Amino acid sequence: MTTATLAGHEFHVNDEGFLTIPEEWNEELAPALAAQIGITLTDQHWEVLRFLRADFAETGETATLRRTATRTDVPVKQLFALFPQKPAKKMAYVAGLPKPHGCV
């Protein structure tokens, strides 16, 4: 397993840079992860990230775009605006979760 350090936090990542131990994530790390992919977090981003973390803790899987949109007040179209190009993958990355099933 590879380790990375960002914003003073050391964590384990896979070959795509996704955290392999979701418990190593915290809300201080999220802005640094987001900045690496060109995103500045807003309140709406945080709504999505907190949902993803809570849903993962409950289900053991990273929520899909559809699940995220139906369980939050953020429609799919807005998810694409918040996390441009491959939103499910970027949402999972910033939330410190595994890439959702079906993501390329």
Q: How far apart are CA 17 and CA 20, in angstroms?
A: 9
Residue-range domain boundaries for the chain: 25-104
Q: What is the mean pLDDT of residues 18-25?
A: 93
Across the range 12-35, mean pLDDT stands at 94
The per-residue pLDDT for range 40-67, each reduced to its tens digit, is 999 999 999 999 999 999 999 999 999 9
Length of the chain: 104
Question: Quick check: pTM over 0.85?
Answer: yes
As a whole number of angstroms, the distance between CA 83 and CA 63 comes to 15
Burial of 16 (0-12, 13-18, 19+ CB in 10 A): exposed
Asked whether the predicted pLDDT for residue 93 surpasses 90, the reply is yes
The per-residue pLDDT for 1 is 67
Rounded CA separation 38/53 (Å): 21
Query: Is 103 one of the annotated active-site residues of the chain?
Result: yes
Indicate which residue of 6, 35, 41, 103 is catalytic: 103
- Return d(Cα 14, Cα 20) in angstroms, integer: 6
Which CATH superfamily does the domain covering 25-104 fall into? DsrC protein, C-terminal domain (1.10.10.370)
Label residue 37 by pLDDT band (50, 70, 90): very high
Mean pLDDT across the stretch 76-86? 96
